[in-house]
A and B are shown apart, each in its own frame.
Chain A
Amino acid sequence: MVPVIEIKDLAKYFSVPAGKNLAVDGVSLKIERGKTMGVVGESGCGKSTLGRTIIRLYEPTSGQILLNGEDVSHAKGAQLKKARENMQIIFQDPYSSLNPRMTVEETVSEPLEISHKYKSKAEIMDKMRELFHRVGIDKRYRLAYPHEMDGGRRQRVGIARAIALNPEFVMCDEPVSALDVSVQAQVLNLLMDLQEQYQLTYMFVTHDLSVVKHISDHISVMYLGQLVETSPSKELFANPLHPYTKALLSAIPSIDIHRPMQRKILKGELTSAINPKPGCRFAPRCEFATESCSAPQGLQEVGTDHFVSCCRINEI
């Protein structure tokens, strides 16, 4: 089966005064229909840029983006418009991603009107009622403005807008990070219900590892623009191999007070992806780093669908 999304060696560089910021640097992955790919990493690792480049909010510097097998990496005009109907985004902050001067109804109906798929106002209203029902917004909020709603409801509006045109692929950019625990669970359940009903394909970008484990089938770990490990979700948590993945997983505060984590505290901090040296970008913080780590690295298969980018993987 053709994966809904496949990217090959995708790169997105930004020019900055100090040189080139290699925000996304040679990332390849594919996501099958109805599945969720979780992308985790620390702030500044390029995970949001990756997602936004895939749905063509940024023009990729190089590499390919295949949507249902069709190359849309540099699509323009009608082809891009068609591709975008099929690729949508849910943003992190429901406080700033909704237009404060538009009512809920205006926000959700806008994509319906732009698409020209609906012939009359009545059809649009019907579709909108259906959307409200699907995401669980009471219809009395139809004419409300974003400031009249709490975070959970706003995020439901964001979701309604994203799924309005029945996209196949939805890029979820930290959709629950701004929400409280009790509301976060409501929104996560909604996303999973929608996926089941409409066979949606998600890319789920987050820094919250317990959330990503819960929702993803497959997880990719990013460090400074590159994938360091990608694996089925269960396998990654059971058998993390890259030193960075291990440190990341051990840093999660556990609510189990009787089994404290054996914590690996990383020294130093995420540096930047501006003019990086060749070789492993994690090496400066890695306790196992040797000279061989300064050679260029690549992902190697270590198990079924489990890839790691570390040249010392067999020694440590």
Chain B
Amino acid sequence: MDDNNVFLSVNDLVVEYTSDKKIIYAVNGVSLKLEKGKTLGLVGETGAGKTTIAKSILRILPDPPAKIKSGQCIVGGEDMMQKTEKEMLDIRGNKISMIFQDPMTALNPIMTVGEQIAEVIKLHDKSLNKKQAFAKAMDALEMVGIKAERGGEFPFQFSGGMKQRVVIAMALASNPELLLADEPTTALDVTIQAQILSMIKELQQRQNTSMLLITHDLGVVAETCDDTAVIYAGEIVESGSKEDIFDHPAHPYTIGLFAALPKLNEETDRLNPIKGMTPDPSELPEGCKFHPRCEFAEKKCKCEQIPMVEVSPGHFCRCCRVNELER
């Protein structure tokens, strides 16, 4: 990766939630890098901390219960953690936009979709009057493949796929430099997913937007991302180019994830699940967070702080046995 071209860099981010006097260790020292105009796929299972990272970058985590303990989120050379709330208001939706997972709840049910998009546009360009903002909103709708005359309709008149298009139109209305897409197609059917993903990619290329794509679906990563980071229990366990992760997975968790997927082009009698469950984030295991489920775990996996090891240029893996294991 070219360090000069890095647009987003998250350094050593730590986020905790407090609930009932318990501390939930959601994000434990995460570092990520995303180049200008590229797409980084962040893959992990429920509760791994994916959404918390995206919300930390935008500083929209509710505090309390969430607390960003330490770390930096540098976007285009500026650390978001140092910004005042007033400055953040200007950045959100302008320089950085987010697409949320569930289009059914992300829209205001009592405003027409046109008004909702115009509201965003007007907020970021105060020179526009209402009419001009609405005209721009209609352009944004056309951009995502919805006819402008439907701008006067309400969200309930739209299907799930179209609502997600509206959400995307809103996110891209002000040409953001960084797009945080949190499971943008999880709530949609496969044929609609294919439409939306190809549309996001096309718009992203046209505007040279950098994108952090959060998903649990390795297939979506394979089709849309340049680089991949795998997260488990609030830690990045493996990162590298898409080819590194898909062709030469190194961490036992990544290998396990691939093995657990039913394959379309292979005949298998039984799948190979990863045994056990993801750990309770308030009682994370010592050492490697994955060791209780790992078939290769040894004594040293249980007590050491496991560092990231570079297994090949640009391909990192958080496993102390990675060089001993045959891959």
A181 in complex: contacting residue of B189, B191, B216, B247, CB < 8 Å: B216
Cβ of B22 under 8 Å from chain A: no
A residues near B193, Cβ cutoff 8 Å = 251, 253
Most buried by B among A182, A192, A263: A182
A213: nearest chain-B partner, CB-CB: B264
Cβ of A237 under 8 Å from chain B: yes
Q: Are A214 and B268 CB-contacts (below 8 A) given A181-B260, A182-B260, A269-B162?
A: yes
Report the Cα distance A207→B188, complex, angstroms: 10
Taking the closest CB of chain B, its distance from the CB of A88, in whole angstroms, is: 23
Q: Are A42 and B189 CB-contacts (below 8 A) given A210-B261, A253-B219, A254-B264?
A: yes
Report the Cα distance A257→B249, complex, angstroms: 13
Cβ of B242 under 8 Å from chain A: yes
Cβ of B32 under 8 Å from chain A: no
User: 5 nearest interchain CB pairs?
Assistant: A253-B219, A185-B273, A214-B262, A185-B271, A182-B274
A residues near B271, Cβ cutoff 8 Å = 185, 188-189, 214
B residues near A250, Cβ cutoff 8 Å = 194
Can you pick out 15 interface pairs between chain A and chain B where the beta carbons lie within 8 Å of each other? A43-B160, A180-B216, A183-B277, A209-B264, A210-B261, A211-B262, A213-B262, A252-B264, A254-B219, A255-B218, A255-B263, A257-B246, A263-B198, A265-B191, A265-B195
Taking the closest CB of chain A, its distance from the CB of B167, in whole angstroms, is: 16
Chain A residues 209 to 267 lying within 8 A of chain B, measured CB to CB, are 209-211, 213-214, 237, 247-248, 250-257, 260, 263, 265-266
A188 touches B264 (CB 8 A): no
Taking the closest CB of chain A, its distance from the CB of B83, in whole angstroms, is: 34
A residues near B66, Cβ cutoff 8 Å = none
Contact with B along A159-203 (1 / 0, CB 8 A): 000000000000000000000111111101100100000000000
A residues near B223, Cβ cutoff 8 Å = 253-254, 260
Cβ of A70 under 8 Å from chain B: no
B273 touches A251 (CB 8 A): no
Q: Are A266 and B195 CB-contacts (below 8 A) given A210-B261, A252-B264, A257-B222?
A: yes
Report the Cα distance A270→B159, complex, angstroms: 9
Report the Cα distance A251→B262, complex, angstroms: 16
B256: nearest chain-A partner, CB-CB: A182
Taking the closest CB of chain B, its distance from the CB of A92, in whole angstroms, is: 14
A249: nearest chain-B partner, CB-CB: B264
Chain B residues 139 to 196 lying within 8 A of chain A, measured CB to CB, are 159-162, 189-195
A185 touches B260 (CB 8 A): yes
A residues near B273, Cβ cutoff 8 Å = 182-186, 189
Q: Are A253 and B217 CB-contacts (below 8 A) given A207-B189, A211-B262?
A: yes
Taking the closest CB of chain B, its distance from the CB of A28, in whole angstroms, is: 25
Cβ of B272 under 8 Å from chain A: yes
B264: nearest chain-A partner, CB-CB: A210
Taking the closest CB of chain B, its distance from the CB of A272, in whole angstroms, is: 9
A residues near B263, Cβ cutoff 8 Å = 210, 255
Cβ of B265 under 8 Å from chain A: yes
Report the Cα distance A192→B159, complex, angstroms: 35
Cβ of A158 under 8 Å from chain B: no
Q: Are A150 and B246 CB-contacts (below 8 A) given A254-B223, A255-B258, A269-B161?
A: no
B residues near A251, Cβ cutoff 8 Å = 190-191, 193-194
B residues near A237, Cβ cutoff 8 Å = 264
B190 touches A181 (CB 8 A): no
Report the Cα distance A270→B261, complex, angstroms: 28
Cβ of A152 under 8 Å from chain B: yes
Cβ of B243 under 8 Å from chain A: yes
Q: Are A265 and B198 CB-contacts (below 8 A) given A180-B278, A189-B271?
A: yes
A207 touches B194 (CB 8 A): no
A residues near B45, Cβ cutoff 8 Å = 180-182
Cβ of B70 under 8 Å from chain A: no
Report the Cα distance A214→B222, complex, angstroms: 21
B residues near A254, Cβ cutoff 8 Å = 219, 222-223, 264
A41: nearest chain-B partner, CB-CB: B189
A180 touches B217 (CB 8 A): no
B190 in complex: contacting residue of A189, A192, A248, CB < 8 Å: A248
A207 in complex: contacting residue of B190, B195, B218, CB < 8 Å: B190
Cβ of B220 under 8 Å from chain A: yes
Chain A residues 254 to 298 lying within 8 A of chain B, measured CB to CB, are 254-257, 260, 263, 265-266, 269-270
A182 touches B189 (CB 8 A): no
B residues near A183, Cβ cutoff 8 Å = 273, 277
B residues near A210, Cβ cutoff 8 Å = 261-264
A188 touches B262 (CB 8 A): yes
List 6 extra interface pairs beyond A180-B46, A247-B191, A254-B222, CB under 8 A.
Answer: A181-B216, A188-B262, A253-B194, A253-B223, A260-B223, A269-B161
Cβ of B270 under 8 Å from chain A: yes
Most buried by A among B162, B190, B268, B274: B190
B194: nearest chain-A partner, CB-CB: A251
Chain B residues 203 to 255 lying within 8 A of chain A, measured CB to CB, are 216-220, 222-223, 242-243, 246-247
Cβ of B257 under 8 Å from chain A: yes
Taking the closest CB of chain A, its distance from the CB of B102, in whole angstroms, is: 14
A252: nearest chain-B partner, CB-CB: B190
A244: nearest chain-B partner, CB-CB: B191
